[in-house]
Homo-oligomer: A and B are copies of this chain.
């Protein structure tokens, strides 16, 4: 997913799908980004939707004002959290925690790709509804149908969706 913005055609197409999905979600005061990779998508989405952008900080600064969120966020505002991929959901939960700590109301998360490794369930437990442009199992099925991947590759992908991941490192 991290290389898509290096291909303008693919970036434009994927952004269109993301924008279409975002428009279907009601009650979005602000778009919430997650550094680093997810911020690329959140930035362009906020720009395209003409909605304000806020983003969580990856690390807390240790000099002066310890802001966990960059940008202007007023308590009670509804933030739609955006990321490119959800695997375990860990980085999305961290960002949600930061946004909620600053008074943001976070109920919806939109990602381009759901790897189906337990993220949806983990997010639901924290009161978050996961929306995705695509699910890895559907992509694998399609690639197998058009013979772009073989049965063993297909089985590997399907197998990975049954194994909740412990970390999201590979997606960072």
On whether A40 and B15 interact (CB within 8 A), knowing A2-B70, A71-B3, A72-B6, the answer reads no
- Contact between A40 and B39, CB atoms less than 8 A apart: yes
Q: Is the CB of A7 within 8 A of B52?
A: yes
The answer to whether A50 has its CB under 8 Å from any CB of chain B is: yes
A54 at the interface (CB under 8 A from B): yes
Establish whether residues B6 and A47, one from each chain, have CB atoms under 8 Å apart when the complex forms.
no
Query: Are B8's CB and A52's CB within 8 A?
Result: yes
Q: List 19 A-B contacts (CB under 8 A).
A: A2-B71, A3-B71, A3-B72, A5-B71, A6-B73, A11-B46, A11-B47, A11-B53, A33-B40, A35-B36, A35-B39, A36-B36, A36-B55, A36-B57, A37-B70, A39-B43, A40-B55, A58-B58, A61-B172
A residues 1-26 near B (Cβ < 8 Å) are 2-3, 5-8, 11-12, 15
Known pairs A40-B53, A41-B43, A43-B44; list 6 more (Cβ under 8 Å).
A5-B52, A6-B30, A6-B71, A7-B72, A47-B47, A58-B58
**Number of copies of chain A assembled together:** 2
| Min CB–CB distance A7 → chain B (angstroms) | 6
Taking residues whose C-beta sits less than 8 angstroms from the other chain, chain A's interface range is 35 or more
CA distance A57 to B43 in the complex (A): 17
- Within 8 Å CB of A8, what residues of B? 46-47, 50-52
Expressed in whole angstroms, the minimum distance between the Cβ of A12 and any Cβ of chain B is 7
B contact residues around A71 at 8 Å (CB): 2-3, 5-6
